[in-house]
A and B are shown apart, each in its own frame.
Chain A
C-alpha cells in the first residue's frame, strides 16, 4: 500500500471468540500508531465506533483489509461474516477460532440440545424447575424480545465464506501480528489461501535438547515432573510442538509446559490431528500390538481432545456425527 494511494481502510471484527485476539492486537503497543498512520480503521466494534448499518452502506470491496476473529455459532455471526466478506478486498481469518475453530470448536462433540440441557438443566447450581431455555423470541409483558439463533455446529470462517489469508495462534503472538501487518503494508503477501507465518514447527524454535525419541509410556502432566532441559516428548509428555506450526517462539515449553498446538498445522497438512497421531505413533518404542494399545490407552484417555484440541471444527471429522434414524433400523 504505497503512500501515493493514500490511506487504506482496515476493519477488525470479532465473532464467537474470547477477546484474546483483540488483546493480542493491542499488545503490539505503540506500533498501533503506525497502523493508524497507514490505515483508517473504519470498523472495530470493541475499540472504536462500530455501526453495522454503516458497513452495510459501504460499497462492496471498499474495505482493503478485514481481520476477522472468532468462529461462527449464531445467525448474527454468520450475517457479519457474509457482510464483511462482501465489503472487503482481503479477508483474513485472524486467530485460531476463525482459522480452525479453537477450543470452542470442541462444542461440535455435542449439539445445541445437549449444550442447553447441560447449561440450563444439569449444572448443579441451576434451579430451573420450569425447564426454561432461552428462546429466539420471547413475549414479555411490555413486548417481544429476540435472541439470535444458536446453531448446532461451530463453523470456521472459511466454512461460511471464502477466506484470503490465515493468521493462526490462540491468540497470534503480537510479533507475528506485526509481521503480517508489515507484509500487508509492503504488498509482500504470499499466494491467496496461504497462512501468513512461519513454515517450520515449534520444535525448530524450542531450546530443549533432543536426541532419539523412544517412548514406552505417555505421562499425564500430573504424573511426572519433567526436567527443564530435555525435549518434553522424549520425557513421555505429549508435546504437540512436533506437529504444530512455529511462530510463538516455543513459549509453553520454555516454562516447562508442553505445546498444546494452538498454532495449528503446518502448510500442506490437511488434518492436524492425523499429523500429530502419525508423529506420536512413530516414537512409540514397541512392535507388540497389545503393548502399543496399552501405551495409548493409558496415556491418551481422550484422543479427540488431545489430537483435535484446537482443530476439531476444521478437521476431516468436523463434528460428532448424528445417528440417522433410518440407519438405526427405523427407530
Chain B
C-alpha cells in the first residue's frame, strides 16, 4: 500500500497533517487529517478565577481571540446570573461585527479568494494576496489592507488591544464609547459596507460569470451532505453574537433548535488515537464513522452552514444576497462546500451592515455599559458564532468563583470529521490508478481551505498561504516520489 502524506507545513512542523493511503490498484483507500498538538486549556483553567476566562481563553487563538473573549464573557454572564444592560449588549455586538468583517476580509482576499480570483491552476507563486492585487488592481489591494487596518484599530479602540482584547466582564464591558468615537466607528462602517458590496460584485464578475468556476463549485468533488449548524435570532435569521442554536438535516429540515446551555443534549465528542483534536457529532443521530447522510451525526459549522441553518439574513442587502445565493445554487440547503466562500462574503456584508446599524444608534454611547452581578457564581455556558463555526464555552465554579470544570468546543473542531471527509473525497476523485493528477495538491488543499480551518483553535493555522507537499511512500515506508507546489 502506498502512503501519500500531505502536510500543510511539511512533516516536522506539523500543525495539521494529511495522510492518504493508496491501495494496490492505486486508488485512495483512506485519508486522515491529523492534528499533532494540544495545549490543555480545559485542564489548566481549573483553579483560576472565572473572571480570568475571557483573557486566558483568548490565548487559544491569536487569529480569532475576539471570539473566545466574547464566548467567555457571555459564559460569565451566565455563571453570575446577570443580564447585561442593553448598551452593553449593543457594544459587544458592534465590536463583534467589526471583528467578523475584518476576519472574513482576511480570509477571502488572502486565503480562500486567490483560488478563484487568480485561478485554481495558476502557479502557486501567484496564488496569494499579491496575485489578487495584480489581478484586481493596486487600488483595491490598498483597500483590503486599509479594511484590515481600520478593523484592528477599532478593535483596539473598544477592547484595548489589536490582538487579545481585555474588555469583557460579567454584566457588561469595562468601558463604553464616546460620541466622537461612535461617529468614527459609524463612518468606518459605512465604508466597510461599500467594501463588502464591492467584494460580492468581484465574486460575481470573476467567479459566477465564469462557467468553469461554476462547474467546479457545483461539481461532484466538493460535496458533503451533512447536517448544518448555526446561531439564529427570533426570526431564524443568522446572528453571530446571540440566539438559539439551530441544526438542519441534509434535507434542509430542522433537526433541532436549542438554547446554548443545553448543548450537551445535542453535541458529543469522539476521541481517535491518531489525532489530538476530538471529533464532535450530533448526539441524537449518533457517530457512524466518517460518512455523510441523514444517519450520520457528522455536521458542519461554517458560513455555508449558518446560511443553510437560517431562514434569511437580518439586514436588507445581505438578505437580497441570501436569496440570490439559493436561487443560483438551486435551493436550500446547498451541499457544495466551495460555495462557502460565497456564503462568507454574504456574511461579510451582513457584518458590515450590522456594524453601521449598531454604530448609528445614539443610545450606544450610554453610560450603562455595565452592571455588577448580585448573585453567587455557579455554572454557565456562553456561545457565539466564531467565523469558523459555533463556539461554546462552559464553566462550573465553586462559591468563590474559582473554575472547577471548563469545557470548550471551538469553531474549527466542529468541522473536524467533515474536513477529513472532504479531503478523502477530493483525493478519491482526483487520484486514479496511482496517478497523482497535476494540480492535485491545490485541489485537495481547496477542499481543506473552504473551511478556513483555524487550528489556532486546536493548534493553529494562519490567514496566508498554506504550503503543501505530497510524499509518496511504498509499503516499506521509503519515499518513491515527492511532489511540491513550489519551484525550488
Contacts and interface: CB of A to CB of B under 8 A. Distances in A.
Interface of A: 14, 16-24, 27, 29-30, 45-54, 73-74, 76, 79-80, 102-104, 106-107, 109-110, 114-115, 118-120, 122-128, 132-135, 138, 140-143, 145, 147-148, 150, 170-171, 174, 220-225, 228, 248, 251-252, 254-257, 260, 262, 301-302, 304-306, 309
A257 B160 contact: yes
A302 B159 contact: no
A73 B271 CA distance: 21
B272 interface: yes
A324 to B, nearest CB: 22
Interface of B: 1, 3, 9-15, 19, 21, 23, 29-30, 32, 34, 36-40, 42-44, 46-49, 51-52, 55-56, 59-63, 65, 76, 80, 145, 149, 152, 156, 158-164, 166-167, 169-171, 174-175, 263-264, 267-276, 278, 280, 283, 287, 370, 372-373, 394, 400-402, 405, 407, 409, 454, 456, 460-462, 464-465, 467, 469, 475, 484, 486, 488
A106 B42 CA distance: 11
A124 B264 contact: yes
A20 B40 CA distance: 18
- Per DSSP, chain B at the interface is loop
B62 A22 contact: yes
Nearest to A46: B462
Closest 6 CB pairs of A and B: A20-B62, A142-B21, A115-B40, A18-B62, A46-B462, A103-B59
Given A52-B11, A119-B42, A125-B280, 8 more contacts: A18-B456, A20-B62, A115-B44, A118-B42, A134-B38, A134-B272, A171-B163, A309-B52
A17 B460 contact: yes
Nearest to A103: B59
B169 A221 contact: yes
B259 to A, nearest CB: 15
Contact of B49 (A74, A103, A302): A302
A145 B401 CA distance: 42
B43 A119 contact: yes
B30 A140 contact: yes
Given A133-B271, A148-B36, A23 B63 contact: yes
A280 B287 CA distance: 53
18 contacts: A18-B65, A19-B62, A27-B162, A27-B163, A45-B13, A46-B464, A51-B484, A52-B12, A103-B56, A118-B46, A120-B278, A134-B275, A251-B160, A255-B158, A255-B167, A257-B175, A260-B55, A302-B52
A191 B159 CA distance: 36
Contacts of B156: 251
Contacts of A171: 62, 163-164
Contacts of B44: 106-107, 109-110, 115
Contact of A252 (B158, B160, B287, B484): B160
Nearest to A18: B62
A51 B467 contact: yes
A143 B164 contact: no
A21 B268 CA distance: 32
Contact of B161 (A76, A79, A251, A309): A251
A103 B60 CA distance: 9
Residue of A14, A46, A50, A262 most packed against chain B (CB within 10 A):
A46
Contact of A305 (B47, B372, B456): B47
Contacts of A48: 464-465, 467
Contacts of B269: 123, 125-127
Contact of B37 (A73, A119, A126, A309): A73
A102 B160 CA distance: 19
B151 to A, nearest CB: 11
B8 to A, nearest CB: 8
B14 A76 contact: yes
Nearest to A297: B400
Contact of B10 (A18, A45, A47, A170): A45
Given A29-B149, A50-B10, A142-B1, A220 B273 contact: no
A255 B52 contact: no
A174 B400 contact: no
B40 A255 contact: no
Contacts of A14: 15, 460
B407 A24 contact: no
A320 B395 CA distance: 23
Contacts of B270: 127-128
Given A20-B163, A52-B10, A120-B278, A107 B39 contact: yes
A304 B46 CA distance: 12
A145 B14 contact: no
Contacts of B373: 222
A134 B271 contact: yes
A142 B37 CA distance: 23
A34 to B, nearest CB: 14
